[in-house]
Amino acid sequence: MADGVGDYIVGLFAREDDLLLALREEADRSGLPPIAISPDAGRLLQLLIAAIGARRILEVGTLGGYSAIWMARALPPDGRLLTLEREPAHAAFARRFLQRAGLDDRVTVRVGAALELLPALDGEAFDLVFLDADKAPLPTYLEWALRLLRPGGIVVADNALRGGRVLDAAATDPDTEGVREFNRRLAADPRLTSILVPTHDGVAIGVLGVR
Ligand code: SAH
Ligand code: DHB
Ligand code: MG
């Protein structure tokens, strides 16, 4: 939502502080792709974390740590965020900024491909799982999220609109198909209360039923 409404919402509810601004500037200079979540998505994640008193968060797709910093700032001091990242250079950048943010005690960056790291987490229980890595395997990431979430936990996915490509029947690339199938499953799963919120690029949210 790069428009007047989006700017109004971000200006009121989701202002970035100097550290988040510096992170994005340095990420640009370092050649990291400019694909961190939007500030309104960061604020929405904080709201969800606060609403359910989340203490254990799993993120898939760290990049430079921008979304991890938004989320970790909403955690209590004993809260923990584990974030998975395939690219060692992205992980190193993120670790540096998490330290600058004073959040390195709360956040662990684990390097590897998500589908190789997720099996080691089997048996753990997370309050919130944020999916923001590659899009083609999103249906599989959803299965993992539902396996790793506690009842009442929340799964969130960024880029749920893919710049509008999910609406375009001619867009059949594996990434768009992955997002579409994820959205269909999220919407239809009887265990979930779900919605797609039209932030900047769409944030899909599902709450796992307690029953
Ligand atoms: N959540 C970040 C943005 C993530 S961009 C933020 O908002 O700040 C997507 C990231 O996922 C990239 O850093 C990319 O290297 C990583 N990624 C892509 N495929 C992956 C995979 N299969 N396993 C782990 N990380 C992956
Ligand atoms: C892209 C954007 C994202 O926000 C993301 O998480 C992954 C990929 C992209 O535009 O390619
Ligand atoms: Mg994203």
- pLDDT per residue as tens digits for the range 64-100: 999 999 999 999 999 999 999 999 999 999 999 999 9
Q: What was the pLDDT predicted at 1?
A: 47
Please report which ligand is nearest the Cα atom of 109.
1
Ligand 2 atom at minimal distance to the Cα of residue 134: 7
Q: How confident is the model at residue 2 (pLDDT cuts 50, 70, 90)?
A: low
Residue nearest atom 3 of ligand 2, based on CA coordinates: 35
3-state secondary structure of 15: coil
The answer to whether residue 193 scores a pLDDT higher than 80 is yes
Contact 20, 69 (CB under 8 A): yes
* Distance in Å, CA 135 to ligand 1 centroid: 10
Q: Which helix (H) or strand (E) holds 140?
A: helix 138-148
Cβ of 66 below 6 Å from ligand 1: yes
Contact 42, 17 (CB under 8 A): no
d(CA 129, CA 121): 12
Reading the block at residue 181, the tokens are: 């199938």
Q: What was the pLDDT predicted at 63?
A: 98
Q: How confident is the model at residue 3 (pLDDT cuts 50, 70, 90)?
A: confident
Contact residues of ligand 2, CB 6 A cut-off: 35, 61, 132, 158-159
Query: Exposed (0-12), middle (13-18) or buried (19+): which is 63, by Cβ within 10 Å?
Result: buried
What's the chain's average pLDDT? 97
Q: What separation in angstroms does the CA of 59 have from each of 7, 71, 114, 161?
A: 26, 10, 10, 19
Contact 202, 196 (CB under 8 A): yes
Residue carrying structure tokens 């662990």:
108
d(CA 69, CA 81): 10
For the chain, the C-alpha Rg in angstroms (whole number) is 16
Ligand 2 atom at minimal distance to the Cα of residue 133: 6
Cβ of 84 below 6 Å from ligand 1: yes
E-strand spans in the chain?
A: 56-60, 80-85, 107-111, 126-131, 149-158, 192-197, 203-208
Contact 64, 83 (CB under 8 A): no
